[in-house]
Structure 1
Amino acid sequence: MKIGTIPGDGGAWLLPRIVGWSKACKMALTGDAVSAQEALACGLVS
């Protein structure tokens, strides 16, 4: 089940700065899950 919400508490501001604009848009608009390997590759986790 997907809920149409937008990132809050600064997530909409911070996410593009971490992963880049196009990746942030894809993550926010599609709601697709991100694997651990993909999160590591784009700098979302360390």
Structure 2
Amino acid sequence: MAKHKHGEMDISVHEKTFDGFIKMVTRGAIACIVLLIFIGLVNG
């Protein structure tokens, strides 16, 4: 088994995936908040 050396692994793909996930979650949360506000205004 190869020895692990800290800091040698290329994590650029992992970082792009994580950034995409964070953007998706943020947009989803904003969409839910906007939807709840809209429902509150319509049923007011």
**Which of structures 1 and 2 has the larger relative contact order (alpha carbons within 8 angstroms, sep 6+)?**
1
Higher helix content, 1 or 2? 2
The TM-score range, normalised by the shorter chain, is under 0.3
TM-score (norm 2): 0.26
